[in-house]
Structure 1
């Protein structure tokens, strides 16, 4: 039987000839036969006419309509509520803020995404961990601690929701890799 490509995740699906075609994608669990395209007009004078035309072209079942409302409603609410910086727009020039953020991001070597709102994060600095207040965990497989102080952490701050994240500095990443390799041998 010929392989099929999931329209949602673009994974190739090979059907078992005895069982027959899959109804849902085994990778992303989306319905394979329910793939549809919706065109949504965001602004414009003809928005109502366009929406009526869309409604005529696509008549969702009641179950699909509830699912779409749940997905769109929760996504729009969560993204807008996570972007804390927007509440300061009345008192401050957020356009100038965004321009500055973009310029800073262009200079960074690493640009992680915020885990909360998916904005790109600004490298705010480094934090030195000397060992005071840090209790390392010993892993039996490597016969020692996973991370041995002292080490440096990169500190990132999100310009959208102001959450702070840390990751291990480059030199300490390499030190950790080498210690895992040497301790296991």
Structure 2
């Protein structure tokens, strides 16, 4: 019996010697011989990142270059989106992380940042009143989705300081109740 590891799903595939290896993985259905590798060296932001692309044959490389363009094939990595890393030299980030962990332990909800995937801390709640709030109008509804006043929780990412808001629990229930009863 011959053994192969699928480069896509990392499943060990045991082939019968009489039948031999096939072109696709029986588990993930991906092509086994068309696997391509992209190696990117991560280092200081000052250094140019090196990219190494292993193409199966030259025709694929030419097709990709024609599709993406030569400039796109040589792109560089974006700078770190973790703004916190900039403060490493001037602040005690170990103490910062410990404090953040204690705060996260006290929260009922701990959302992930959509930008960098670090956890977000609850900074507080904000009340939205009729002043400055213009509700969207939908033909499917007689009244707005939610009527002011309502409150939103404000979360701040601990890594990139991105700010997110969402409705408080009681206003979520109020909105669900309103939309489940609403008929146009």
- Give yes or no for TM over 0.5: yes
Partner of 2:172: 173
Q: Does 1:60 align with 2:54?
A: yes
Q: Trace 1:3-18 onto structure 2 (pairs within 5 A).
A: 7=8
Q: Which has the higher helix share?
A: 1
Let me know the Cα RMSD of the aligned residues.
3.8
Deviation at 1:37, TM superposition (A): 8.6
Deviation at 1:140, TM superposition (A): 1.6
What whole-Å deviation, never above 9, does each CA across 1:117-176 have from its counterpart, x for those lacking one?
Answer: 111100110000111100111222122101210000000001111111100111000000
Q: 1:39 to 1:168 in 2, by over 3 A?
A: same
Partner of 1:96: 95
**Alignment partner of 1:184: what SS?**
coil
Q: Trace 1:1-185 onto structure 2 (pairs within 5 A).
A: 7=8, 32-33=31-32, 34-35=34-35, 60-61=54-55, 63=61, 74=77, 77-78=78-79, 80=80, 82-184=81-183
Q: Which has the higher strand share?
A: 2
Deviation at 1:32, TM superposition (A): 3.5
Higher alpha-carbon Rg: 2
**Alignment partner of 2:111: what SS?**
coil
Q: 1:31 to 1:92 in 2, by over 3 A?
A: same
Q: 1:120 to 1:135 in 2, by over 3 A?
A: same
Q: 1:88 to 1:149 in 2, by over 3 A?
A: same
TM-score calculated relative to the size of structure 1 = 0.62
Matches of 1:101 and 1:36, distance apart in 2: 40
Partner of 1:18: none
What whole-Å deviation, never above 9, does each CA across 1:93-123 have from its counterpart, x for those lacking one?
Answer: 1011011111211211111111221111001
Structure 2 unpaired stretches of 5+: 1-6, 10-22, 43-51
Deviation at 1:184, TM superposition (A): 2.3
**Alignment partner of 1:98: what SS?**
helix
Count the aligned residue pairs. Answer: 140
